Structure 1
Amino acid sequence: MDCKTHKLYHVHGMDSRSYLDMYFSNKEDMAFAEDALKFPMAMFHYQFSTGQTEGTFLIDISLGSVIHHLYSASKFFKKIVLLRFQEKCIMEMNRWLHDRTGAYDWSHTSSAAAELEGTRDQLQEKEMRLRSSIMQILKCDFEQENITSPVLLPLADCIISACILEIISKNEDEYMKNLEKTIKLLKPGGQLLLIALLDETYWVAGAERFHCFKCNEEFVKNAFGKVGLVIDYYAVQRRRNVSDLADYKAILFIVGCKGE
């Protein structure tokens, strides 16, 4: 149950459409609605709507080609850059961004966003607002000193990282290095909003099983402190489903502020 027996997402790639169907679809038998859709969307809505996170420029570094966690951010951040590890995920996101034939249907999440905001009569506006906020989708590589090389991005007011650090890290040392590289893109005084899967060792996409670095709530909190992030808020939701597609025990939402 380690990276020697499971594939590495950022090295081997994955079937991005299958990943969306398994964890984020609107199918009645989709087991992960509470954990993968509702909890992250509610947490980001709370964080942004209460005015606790502000600015103009946001960077999102997340797993796969997901966009549903960004609806609330797009209401407050007019410039968003998405960083992804795989060309297939970037292609998938570009289909949705430019409303092309075959794009993934995220309408169930725009409905959820409208419900959170209390604007159910403005469903199409949610996706339009998010699309207009996204400036670029770039490939990133954490093996590089500048993870977006050759592009040099300005420092962000906010970074969102959803379910990615534990996926691309083989062990504790790599996790810390990857966390440090993430916050290098963050302004002093800026915030990192992170979603982490706790106590997970594997997850499935398509027919492939992928590695995940097993970490708990205490480890993530300590990691924030070691890199100089002051924790502003956190919440944990215990797993709400039964499925052998992934073995996580809980989901952590945590906000850390970078020192001035």
Structure 2
Amino acid sequence: MSTSVSEVYQHNKTFDPSTYTESYLSLSDRAEPFAKDLLLFRLQQLHQFYITTGPMLSGCRILEYGGGPGHIYPLISAAPFASEIVFAEYAEQNRKVAEQWKSYSSETPEMTALLEHVVRMLENNTAKNAVQERAMKLRSLISQILPCDINQEVALRDCTLPFDIVSTHLCLTAATSSVEQYVLNLRKLARLLRPGGMIVMTEPIGGTFYLVGSQRLPDLYVSSTEVVRESLLQAGFTDVSIKTLKVRPTEVTDHVEYAFCTAVLDSV
């Protein structure tokens, strides 16, 4: 019996933000080993993307789509180049985590560790207050925290369009039931971008589920990175770049690979 997106993500009993964060967004020993490797891979790729592309998009507007329980980590490297960030997430309890972080009412050790890794290790910034200043800047850049639903005809409401960058990570396959719908959902994200704007995303390959605590959550089976590439092309993107991290299936997920993708919305 399949589980709908709303049943999975809208209820604290079935999706616990703190459990997800400890398992998948932590650099500590509490995290799943493969998840720690994946997190470091994403941070490295995001860092490389923004130091390479950011100067050309200086002052860009960024949409973090399907940000989950306070998934601020994809934006740490983006902050020096952004003028505004909109954080969009489906589940109310996950938006609350982001709101608490933005309002300084919550400072998790996981988020602090991610900030320190990016600023100290990847950027080699040794200034005394560099980590705190990056956190302050990121908070100030987030102008809105909004609900979203990729399976609605209008995937995001109540904000100014278009964006220069749409960033989405481990979101689309969790909310999509077929490859055909996956292409349609990518097209919905394309409508949020200006022509020539970019999408940056991480997608799981070759799996059907992941666990959050004891809860088994469904994922769209994507057979290869070529399916992701072709889907992006069908959705109107070009200049598709994909970098991958291979992993072994575990008891918490059967994914075999993760694809970090960037693409440009065709301006024609």
Above 0.5 in TM-score? yes
Structure 1 contact 81–138 (Cα < 8 Å) conserved: yes
- Verify: 1:117 aligned to 2:119, yes or no: no
State which of 195, 203, 209 in structure 1 corresponds to 2:202. 195
TM-score, normalising length: structure 2:
0.88
Provide the residue aligned with 1:145 in structure 2. Answer: 153
Distance in 2 between residues matched to 1:233 and 1:172, nearest whole Å: 19
Structure 2 contact 232–240 (Cα < 8 Å) conserved: no
Show the 5 A alignment for 1:170-249: 170-215=177-222, 216-239=224-247, 243-249=250-256
Judging changes above 3 Å, is the alpha-carbon distance between structure 1 residues 161 and 168 closer, same or farther for their aligned structure 2 residues?
same
- Verify: 1:104 aligned to 2:100, yes or no: no
Provide the residue aligned with 1:256 in structure 2. Answer: 263
Judging changes above 3 Å, is the alpha-carbon distance between structure 1 residues 242 and 176 closer, same or farther for their aligned structure 2 residues?
closer
TM-score, normalising length: structure 1:
0.91
Give, as a single letter, the amino acid of the residue that structure 2 aligns with 1:78.
S
Judging changes above 3 Å, is the alpha-carbon distance between structure 1 residues 80 and 152 closer, same or farther for their aligned structure 2 residues?
closer
1:33 positional shift: 1.1
Structure 2 contact 64–88 (Cα < 8 Å) conserved: yes
- Verify: 1:12 aligned to 2:18, yes or no: no
Helix, strand or coil at the partner of 1:51: helix
Q: Which runs of 4+ in 1 moved over 6 A?
A: none
Structure 2 contact 210–254 (Cα < 8 Å) conserved: yes
Distance in 2 between residues matched to 1:131 and 1:259, nearest whole Å: 31
1:141 positional shift: 1.8
1:63 positional shift: 4.7
Distance in 1 between residues matched to 2:82 and 2:218, nearest whole Å: 33
Superposed CA deviations along residues 129-158 of structure 1, whole A, max 9, x for unmatched, are 211111111000224332223x14310011
Judging changes above 3 Å, is the alpha-carbon distance between structure 1 residues 20 and 109 closer, same or farther for their aligned structure 2 residues?
same
Structure 2 contact 187–236 (Cα < 8 Å) conserved: no
Q: Which runs of 5+ in 2 are unaligned?
A: 10-14
| Larger RCO (CA within 8 A; separation ≥ 6) | 1
Distance in 2 between residues matched to 1:134 and 1:147, nearest whole Å: 19
Give, as a single letter, the amino acid of the residue that structure 2 aligns with 1:185.
L
State which of 73, 77, 81 in structure 2 corresponds to 1:68. 73
Show the 5 A alignment for 1:78-93: 78-93=83-98
Identical columns (%): 21
Structure 2 contact 151–185 (Cα < 8 Å) conserved: no
Helix, strand or coil at the partner of 1:137: strand
Provide the residue aligned with 2:173 in structure 1. Answer: 166
1:127 positional shift: 1.2
Q: Which runs of 5+ in 1 are unaligned?
A: none
Provide the residue aligned with 2:49 in structure 1. Answer: 47
Helix, strand or coil at the partner of 1:50: helix
Helix, strand or coil at the partner of 2:136: helix
Structure 1 contact 195–254 (Cα < 8 Å) conserved: yes
Helix, strand or coil at the partner of 1:147: coil
